[in-house]
Each structure stands twice: as C-alpha cells, then as structure tokens.
Structure 1
C-alpha cells in the first residue's frame, strides 16, 4: 500500500478548501441557552481563515462555493455551507459562521461566535507547519485576541464572560494528522506506532481543551475523524472498489479513544460539559447506502478528482464534493441529530 501517495492525494484535498466569507451572517430568532459558537480545527469547519495565508491549502476559487449564497467561492471546503455553518444555524445563532481572520468581519458578529479553524491544520504542529496553515494552538491565540475585541464591543466584562462560558466550542482535529502527517511523514512513522500516535492525538486534544477551559470555555463538542480510508482520494488509489483499510483502521482507533476521553473529562474540568460527535459512522452509512438518503454516488467526488476533472452538474447527488470533503447535502443530512444531541447535552 503506497501510503505516501494516499497522503499526497488527501493533502491536496484538505489543502484546497477554505473560503472567503461573503457578507454578514444572517441572524436567526430561535431561542437557545447557547450564546455563541466557536469552531476550531480543520477544513471541515473552516469558513475562510486560510484565504490570506501564504499556502496552497485554500479554496477561494471556482468551483468551490458554487452552491453558496451568490455562487461565490468564500474559502469554505465544499460546494456550499459547511458543518460549522449548519451547527450555528441549528443552535439558533446564525446561518453563516464567519471566519475570524476575514478582514471584513463585522463587530456585530462577535457576540454570537466566529470560526478559528484552518483547512489542513491539526493537533500535531508538524501538520500545520508543512502546509503553512494555522496550528490549533495558534487558533487559541486568535481566540484570545477575539476576547479582547469582544470586551470592546460589548463594553461589559461580565457580559463578555457570560458569552464565553455559555458558548459551544466545536472542535474538528485529527483528520490531517492521520491522513497526511502520519502516513506521509517518514519520521512520524519511525517515531510512533499507530496506537502510540493516536494516544498522542488524544493527549493533544486534552491540551487544547484545557487551554480553552482556562480562558472560560465550558461546553465542548469534539468531533471524531471522517472515515478517512473511504474518502474518494484514498479509494481512487486502490481502484475505487473499496475503502482503504489501514487509514480507516487508524481513524477508528483514534475515534474510540477520543470518545472514551470525552466521557472521562468531567472529573478533570469542574463545571464543564463534554460530548463526542461521531462523524465516522453517519458518513459510512451514506457511503454504503447513498440512495436511502437521496444520493446516487457515495464513492466519487463531484469535483476536482481524477474521476471528475470536470465538476458534476448536481452536487446534491454526491456524498462527496471533492477528494476529501462532503457536499453541503451530506452535512445537511447528518447534522439534525447532532444538533439535537448538542442541545440535550450542552445547552
């Protein structure tokens, strides 16, 4: 199995998607005890933070954003809205979660949340450095800068603290660490076994949570990885007849360890709430039985893959948009139950 080739394909995917936010996010009127949403991690959540970085890991160009409002690329890794947008809307906050590094970010958006995630990033510093994107620890520094701006906007320390402590902190990290850094960086494979590296990823997740907890965060929704071996980029390299076993095995191992960690963190972080979001199994369900949810193709990407150099006409027929990212319809299909779980466990 050529892991380096698989990793390069996935790198191209995870590197190619992050969009420029195109206007003030629409507000919704739904009642919620959640004050804001803050997103950290990788391209599954990124809404445009990479656009001004000196990196190839960005997607502020056509055909990305083809089905977004106005049909314009914004830096989101997909054909339209991404997972963080839909969680924000589902919690009654706003339908678009703006990128913190968007130069046109409105002060009006600060109290209800922003996105700090960076496409191509991960828990391992090497993951971010090899792509020139924002490491999760640096995203926490951005959050610290955000708090300073929020205090200036609301003009009341107590009110700012209330927003911070009652917000949901959505984290997606580990996808690129496993798919890119571990299986394509020789020194990581020499340094760690798969069990050892996944243990380290869980430790780094805990460190990230502690950093945010120390700044006032109390409600954490931590996502597992996608079924990385079933992404179109990985499948294509082994003939597109099945999912690539070893990458999926590593992803599944990490997810199980991460889920167990979320169950145990309450004792270490008094007053905080934690939940694990399973991304692996819902997507496997769409991949294995796409027609049950109104899709026609669960294996190929609509766009930007060796099998679809010319973008498909209708992305809603596909589970995947490109070699590594789900379509907007896929996110819409799996998010309703996740939103309800967030409301039950964190609100």
Structure 2
C-alpha cells in the first residue's frame, strides 16, 4: 500500500518507512506544534493534571520502550510530520527540562493534552490553554534570539511549519457542558472565530506556514462509541455532525483568510474524511481493528485507565487507535501518508 501510494504521489519520494518526504528544493527550518493531546509531546508531564500518560504501557514502541508523555504507544502526528519534512525524527516538548539549545533550533511542541479553542476546555481538563501556549512560544522566541541573534531567529520562524491541532476536546466535553448556552451551530461558530484568532496571533508572531487541523470524526472515537453509541457501539451521529459543521465553516473561513496573509500560507488539514475512510476500510490500509484501542478492552481505557495493569493487544500495528481516544503510532503514520501530498502543495 505504501509503495502504491508513493507512486501515486508522483512529486514525492518514499522513505524507508513508507512516509513521504518532500522534494529536495523544499527547506523547512523547524516544526512547532500547538493544541491538544494529538501533538502533546510530554508537556503535561510538567503540570498538575490527571491528563498524563508518562507511564507504561504508553510509549511501549517508542525508543527504548520509554513512556515520554506522548499519548501513544510510539510516535505522534507531530513526530511523523517533523520527520517527513526532513527536520528531525522526534519533536520534543517545550517544557521538558532536559531540552537542549540545539533542539530549540528545529522546533518544539507547546501542546497540552485536554486543551482546546474554547477557554473552558483547558479548565475542565486542567490543561495548558492556547493563550498560554502562545505566551510560551513568545518566551521561546526570546530564548532563540538570545542564542542566535534576532535576524537568524526571525528567519527560522519564517521558514518553519506551524501545526495547530485542537477542537476535539471542545466537541467531546465542552459542547455538552455549554448546551444551555449554545446549540451546535452557535458553538461551532464560536469555535471557528477562536480558531481564526489563534491563527492570526501566531501569524503576527512570524509564522509563515500554518497547518490547521479540522476536527476528527469525534463520534467514531472508541470511547464515544462505548459511551453513546448504543450496545452496538456505532459511531455517534450527533458528535460527527457537529464536527462536520465545524470543519466546513473552518475551511471556508481559512480560505478567505489565506488571501490576506499572502505570501504566507495557511493550510486546512482534513482530519475527518481520511480517518473515516480508514475506519470504514481498515484492510485497505493494513489494519484490522478501527473501533477499539489496543490498550485494555480498547473500549474506554485512556490516560490513567490505560496503565501497567492493562493488557494490550498482541499486535498494535493492526489497530488504528492505541487507547480509546488517541491514534496508534501506525494510525498516525497511515493518516499522515494520506494528507501529506495536499499539505505540501498548500504550504509551499
């Protein structure tokens, strides 16, 4: 499958792991990630929250079988994107006290598991709000300027890719929490405005290439299937419709925003339809299970419920999800294969 996909991509070449890498004339200085647990590389290890995963079996397929705080059995979307862009194999967490100055030159993640666009989302989850992630990025740029000079620092930021992955937690628990204030349409309208404001803010701070993820099919996450998908554990239509509405609105608004940002680029990354395709056609992608995670029963275990006492599946490379919310390393790899060609075209 990976070979056929690489042939289909034409303009791209395939690495030994099947991940697409860009043509040699594309140069990316660094990758920066903002948002939630899909790109939290371990920042939650260093804050007071229940949303941690710095314990086994998380990280069982990472280097040395080490749990790093990534919400996965191995590499995340942020790691795979940094690798595919030729930047580095692993994107570190900004709050990691062991991070080296050299790591700062090629990018870090400011994301926090449980965060979202809605200000109440990180409060509910005790996560780092996006507004604070922005402040951390400002702190980062000052460190960079001190280390290598202002002009070189500006050039690195300008030639970097900024990854924004949020909205899942907003739709997962903040939308129900705000049901007395908002219906799905008005809530999605608010989320889109907050997302656009965030994009404008990082653009003001020098971001030249910004990739904004849509919402995934939240109703198809294993945990939602278990909690609200009937005894048959079907995808939950209500959450999926809310995600689709948000995505359509976000895509339209980002397209209009892009023209005013020229020559900077803003890419809408469809996190919904490629995942639906994988969920509905697992064998086409070399998978077998897409309605359960690998950890425990796969139906509800996530963060502290997925722990060293939880049995894991015999072959996690056959599972799209690692726990009941997050993609497995294999799932991340397959998804990035699907979206990378369009992402490259949109950003470069």
Give the corresponding residue for 1:148: 142
Q: Give the Cα separation in 2 of the matches to 1:303 and 1:251.
A: 26
CA RMSD of aligned residues (A): 1.7
In structure 2, the residue corresponding to 1:130 is in which secondary structure? helix
Tell me what 2:249 maps to: 257
Tell me the SS of whatever aligns to 1:189: coil
User: Is 2:322 the counterpart of 1:321?
Assistant: yes
Measured after TM superposition, the shift of residue 287 of structure 1 is 1.0
Is the counterpart of residue 57 in structure 1 residue 47 in structure 2?
Answer: no
How many angstroms apart in 1 are the aligned matches of 2:95 and 2:104?
Answer: 12
Q: Which moved more, 1:307-316 or 1:51-60?
A: 307-316
What is the aligned partner in structure 2 of residue 342 from structure 1?
343
Report the CA distance between 1:317 and its aligned residue: 1.0
Q: Could you tell me how far apart the structure 2 residues matched to 1:89 and 1:336 are?
A: 12
Structure 1 equivalent of residue 240 of structure 2: 248
1:84 to 1:30, Cα distance in 2 relative to 1, 3 A: farther
State the SS of the aligned residue for 2:79: helix
> What CA distance in whole angstroms lies between the structure 2 residues aligned with 1:319 and 1:153?
41
Q: For each residue in 1:310-347, what CA deviation from the matched residue of structure 2 results, as whole angstroms up to 9, or x when unmatched?
A: 21121111111111111111111121242333322213
Q: Using the alignment, how far apart are the partners of 1:307 and 1:175 within structure 2?
A: 17
Partner of 2:70: 76
Contact kept, 8 Å, 2:222 with 2:300, in 1: the verdict is no
C-alpha distance in 1, partners of 2:206/2:290? 41
SS of residue paired to 2:125: coil
Where in structure 1 do 4 or more consecutive aligned residues deviate above 4 Å?
306-309
Task: Note closer, same or farther for the CA distance 1:99–1:31 as it changes in structure 2 (3 Å cut).
Answer: farther
Residue in structure 2 matched with residue 39 of structure 1 by the alignment: 33
> In the TM superposition, what is the alpha-carbon distance from 1:31 to its structure 2 partner?
6.2
Q: Is the 8 A contact 2:300 2:324 kept in 1?
A: no
> Is 2:88 aligned against 1:94?
yes
Q: Would you say the 8 A contact 1:240–1:299 is kept in 2? A: no
Partner Cα distance (1:71, 1:56) in 2: 22
Structure 1 residue 213, shift from structure 2 partner: 1.2
| 8 Å contact kept, 2:158–2:208 | yes
Cross-structure match for 1:279: 271
1:226 corresponds to: 216
Structure 2 unmatched runs, 5+: 1-22, 302-309
Distance (Å, rounded) in 2 between the aligned partners of 1:344 and 1:291: 28
Within 5 A, what are the aligned runs for 1:82-231?
82-154=76-148, 156-183=149-176, 185=177, 188-231=178-221
- In 1, Cα distance between the equivalents of 2:173 and 2:55? 23
1:306 Cα deviation from its structure 2 partner: 4.4
TM-score computed with the length of structure 2 as normaliser? 0.87
Residues 162-197 of structure 1 deviation map (CA, whole Å, 9 limit, x = unaligned) = 1111111110110000111112x1xx1111110000
Find the counterpart in structure 2 of residue 19 from structure 1.
none
Is residue 121–residue 173 contact of structure 1 (8 Å, CA) maintained in 2?
A: yes
SS at match of 2:46: coil
Change (3 A) 1:307 1:135: closer
State the distance in 1 between where 2:101 and 2:342 align: 30
Give the superposition deviation at 1:85. 0.4
Q: Is the 8 A contact 1:39 1:45 kept in 2?
A: yes
Match of 2:307 in 1: none
Alpha carbons of 1:40 and 1:240: their partners in 2 closer, same or farther (altered >3 Å)?
A: farther
In the superposition, the TM-score normalised over structure 1's length comes to 0.87
Q: Does the 8 Å CA contact 1:232/1:240 hold for their aligned counterparts? A: no
